[in-house]
Amino acid sequence: AYAVRGLVPTRDQLTAPARPRVEAPALPDGAGLVMVANTGAGTPERVRALADALPAAELVECEPADIRQELEKAAARATVLGVCGGDGTVNTAAEIALRHDVPLAVLPGGTLNHFAHDLGVEGDHDLVRALQQGEAVKVDVGRFVSGAQEGIFLNTCSLGIYPELVRERENWSKVIGSWPAGVLGALRVLRADHHPLRAELNGRTHPLWLLFAGNGTYHRVGLAPARRFDLADGRLDVRVVHGGRHPAVRLLAAAFAGPLTRSPAHAAVRVGHLTIDGVDPGTLLAYDGEVTEVSDRVTLRKSREALTVYRPQPAG
């Protein structure tokens, strides 16, 4: 058990990001919080526990199709905008919170919950404590622009094979569940006859199987999946898997490699912004689990410390 704990650390062994701290309204009984919960997330017990701890908070439960509309209405009357759902729902809430200039309270309610967990909010107890004490931080927000298409990302943005995997996963998840759909999607994408994405970086055209940009630097801990320790470092964690034969082998090699590697198959760099030229119209781009189409030039950049988010301060 101790050996496995060393290889795959639990989150209580890891230091969660806690900077830069910022003043935020303290809500001892929840008055001023409007929490919008995605009923498709399937975690009603967390929402009920938060409502019991913060009886003056307003709770709005809605179907996935109504999330944006309800978040817009909530932000217009809230002191603090709350959201319960997965990373895609949180992305929508963050974009609305930025426009309305209100703090965001995130209750993890999806399958992966990368942003909430990297933030240090594992469940309702963490969020309740942060709201009651007024504990919050500023975090960076990633942005992408391509022609008239633009959006934000709190976790990752990618071009190449990964957006196709996301689309396959979404097609199958309602039938067989999220995790099996992810495995099936990966198998289908890697077995298909794909051609690498061709993109121009720094004036040179490169064939790429994958271009990944993380909002903040991702680190690997033991054999555990990568996570972020600092959500306000001002950097995009850019990784590419070069085009060539055997994409599955190249992708697996990149997955097992360290955070900053350079080889004929893959490379990584940390930058403040990135411009990708020569992207074909209709190319898929994935951001925080959502998929859209882009064309020609894609620009990725960071908005430094743009979003105020509640998170409990570590003890001591």
Q: 192 and 98, same structural domain?
A: no
pTM above 0.85, yes or no: no
Q: 152 and 124, same structural domain?
A: no
Strands 21-23 and 33-38 come out as: unpaired
Alpha-carbon gap, residue 130 to 151, rounded angstroms: 28
C-alpha torsion angle, residues 313, 236, 146, 207 (rounded to 10): -140
- Residue 72: its H or E element: helix 67-77
Portion of the chain with pLDDT greater than 90, in percent: 47
State yes or no: cis peptide before 20, omega within 30 of 0. Answer: yes
Q: 204 and 240, same structural domain?
A: yes
Q: 108 and 159, same structural domain?
A: no
Instruction: Calculate the average pLDDT of the chain.
Output: 82
Give the pLDDT band of residue 38 (cuts 50, 70, 90): very high
Give the end of a domain, one of 83, 101, 133.
133
Q: 154 and 103, same structural domain?
A: no
Domain count along the chain: 2
Express each pLDDT in 158-217 by its tens digit: 888 766 666 666 665 666 665 565 556 556 655 555 667 888 876 778 788 888 899 999
Q: 158 and 58, same structural domain?
A: no
120 domain-assigned = yes
Alpha-carbon gap, residue 293 to 286, rounded angstroms: 9
pLDDT at 66: 96
CATH assignment of the domain containing 59: 3.40.50.10330
Express each pLDDT in 232-281 by its tens digit: 999 999 988 777 665 555 555 555 555 445 555 677 789 999 999 988 88
58 domain-assigned = yes
13 domain-assigned = no
pLDDT at 210: 81
Report DSSP state, residue 223: T
206 domain-assigned = yes
Residue with more model confidence, 141 or 212: 141
Q: 299 and 151, same structural domain?
A: yes
Give the pLDDT band of residue 222 (cuts 50, 70, 90): very low
CA-wise closest residue to 200 among 270, 296, 302: 296
Express each pLDDT in 92-120 by its tens digit: 999 999 999 999 999 998 777 889 989 98
CA-wise closest residue to 133 among 263, 231, 214, 29: 29
Sign of CA dihedral 268, 271, 273, 274: negative
Which tokens is 183 given? 């495995």
207 domain-assigned = yes
CATH assignment of the domain containing 166: 2.60.200.40
Residue with more model confidence, 136 or 15: 136
What is the number of H-type helices and E-type strands within the chain?
9, 16
258 domain-assigned = yes
Alpha-carbon gap, residue 157 to 162, rounded angstroms: 10
Q: 77 and 189, same structural domain?
A: no
pLDDT at 268: 79
Query: What residue has token string 């955070």?
Result: 259
Strands 104-108 and 80-85 come out as: parallel
Average pLDDT over every residue of 287-311: 93
47 domain-assigned = yes
Which of 212-226, 271-285, 288-302 is the least confident region?
212-226
Give the end of a domain, one of 133, 159, 177.
133
Give the end of a domain, one of 133, 161, 193.
133
302 pLDDT more than 60: yes
Q: 297 and 185, same structural domain?
A: yes
Domain of 245, in residue numbers: 144-305
Q: 150 and 124, same structural domain?
A: no
Q: 244 and 165, same structural domain?
A: yes
Average pLDDT over every residue of 135-159: 94
C-alpha torsion angle, residues 258, 226, 310, 312 (rounded to 10): -90
Q: 157 and 60, same structural domain?
A: no
pLDDT at 7: 46
